[in-house]
Amino acid sequence: MPGAGRPELSGNRFAVTYHLIGTEAEAKVRAADICLEQTVELPEDLVMDENIRQGIFGQVVSFRPLEPGTFEAIISFAVETCGPELTQLLNVVFGNISLKPGIRVEYLDLPESLLQWFKGPRFGREGLRAWLGVPDRPLLCTALKPMGLSATEMAELAYRLALGGIDMIKDDHGLADQPFCRFEERVKRCAAAVDRANRQTGHRCIYMPNVTAPADQVVERALFAKSNGAGGLLISPGLTGLDIVRRIGEDNRIGLPIMSHPAFQGGFAIHPQSGLSHFVLFGQITRLAGADACIFPNYSGRFYFTRDECRRLSQGTVSPMGHIKPIFPTPAGGMSLEHVPEMREVYGREVIFLIGGGLHRHSPDLVENCRYFKSLVEENW
């Protein structure tokens, strides 16, 4: 990009697959609009600079009909439009056009020239298995709830869950720093309780407190969690912003596995004709941010994702993305123990089963229920 002291662009581009709703003519207009809206934000005739037109404008790489009223456009952008910033990558992919209906991001094709800027998950699937000492079966996760219990009560619950053989005990995503269950006290008590259970069982269960918090407290809470025996972290990037996941994931003082929670991400996920595909939102973007596991609503629970959406989502957690590791899909949201055998067909064994309330239903003995849960994944996988 010569002239006026501008450095040359590398020529490296990344590509975004969009689904566009409308007639063919409308979809073509929309594709052309994305090329401008997501970059120069000016009508084409107001940008006469040939270097900007060639280098900065988005470019329609391909355009084809998918089904009546739906078209696929693949649009490429210069990697320099984002640079090493996840916030700006999201901005170029879907910033302004998130405000226009009938545009859905289906797939990101990110070259190594862009991926090099991101470390991705610290653990990923293999690392998390090593961290937990579970080489091959599905991993078991549950949540501390309900909101309203004191830290002492949460710790007692955590103790019993760990005793029953659960691998990962996370805070319910609504546990923050409420006066009835302060963050620091909860972390100390729950980590100690899980540790006590581990010494009895000889297993390695981890406690994962929720570090979703005000912007200036996420890192602080993650550090506190690490220093006080937590074995992982839970965070809701819809509430905190996605890039803080990268921030805490890259921090060597923390160095814990991260599980993401979908709270406040629904706007992008539940409308089939707009937003981000499950593959992109819960797979590609969450991996790029550096979560090691991604919670999402399972098809048979109390939310509305379909089985096919969950299957495709699951593919997004493992699809090739250069050096960015695959992560664990973590279906949840009203799962019961009865669902486990059937879910193997969709998720195989590379999955974390997250069962919260359902774990309290099988029998009055919570420890026994956990053992039963574990037995379901130890057989025939």
Subset of residues 230 to 249 that bind a copy of itself, contact rule: CB under 8 A? 236, 238-241, 243-244, 246-247
Q: How many residues bind a copy of itself (CB under 8 A)?
A: 93
CB of 236 to a copy of itself, least distance (A): 7
CB of 26 to a copy of itself, least distance (A): 13
Cβ–Cβ < 8 Å for 209, 188: no
Whichever of 27 and 132 has its CB closer to a copy of itself, that residue is 27
Query: Distance (Å, rounded) from C-alpha 323 to C-alpha 223?
Result: 27
Whichever of 17 and 38 has its CB closer to a copy of itself, that residue is 38
Cβ–Cβ < 8 Å for 186, 151: yes
Nearest to 230 by CA among 124, 174, 178, 155: 155
Report the 10 Å Cβ neighbour count for 192.
16
Residue 274 contacts a copy of itself per CB under 8 A: yes
Q: Say which of 19, 145, 173, 339 is annotated catalytic.
A: 145
Residue 219 corresponds to which tokens in the numbers above?
Answer: 């890192």
Query: CA dist 98 to 154, 245, 268, 281, Å?
Result: 40, 22, 9, 13
Binding to a copy of itself (CB under 8 A) within 6-35 occurs at 6-7, 9, 33
3-class state of residue 274 by DSSP: coil
Binding to a copy of itself (CB under 8 A) within 75-134 occurs at 80-83, 85-88, 90-92, 94-101
Report the 10 Å Cβ neighbour count for 33.
18
Contact characters 295-324, a copy of itself, x per CB under 8 A? --x----xxx--------------------
Residue 288 corresponds to which tokens in the numbers above?
Answer: 């790029």
Binding to a copy of itself (CB under 8 A) within 134-163 occurs at 143, 145-150, 152-153
Residue 172 contacts a copy of itself per CB under 8 A: yes
Q: Say which of 170, 188, 261, 374 is annotated catalytic.
A: 261
Sequence-distant (6+) residues with CB within 8 A of 146 are 172
Q: Which of 361, 363, 365, 381 binds a copy of itself (CB under 8 A)?
A: 361
CB of 162 to a copy of itself, least distance (A): 20
Query: Distance (Å, rounded) from C-alpha 120 to C-alpha 282?
Result: 14
Select the span of 126-134, 190-198, 210-218, 362-370 touching a copy of itself (CB under 8 A). 210-218
Residue 118 corresponds to which tokens in the numbers above?
Answer: 């991101």
Select the span of 130-138, 173-181, 311-319, 322-330 touching a copy of itself (CB under 8 A). 173-181
User: Amino acid identity, residue 285?
Assistant: I
Whichever of 75 and 132 has its CB closer to a copy of itself, that residue is 75
Q: Which of 32, 134, 263, 367 binds a copy of itself (CB under 8 A)?
A: 263
Whichever of 32 and 134 has its CB closer to a copy of itself, that residue is 32
Burial class (CB in 10 A: 0-12, 13-18, 19+), 63: middle
User: Interhelix angle for 218-227 vs 183-201, to 10°?
Assistant: 30
Residue 261 annotated among the catalytic residues of the structure: yes
Residue 170 annotated among the catalytic residues of the structure: no
Distance of CA 201 to the CA centre of its chain: 31
Active site residues: 145, 261
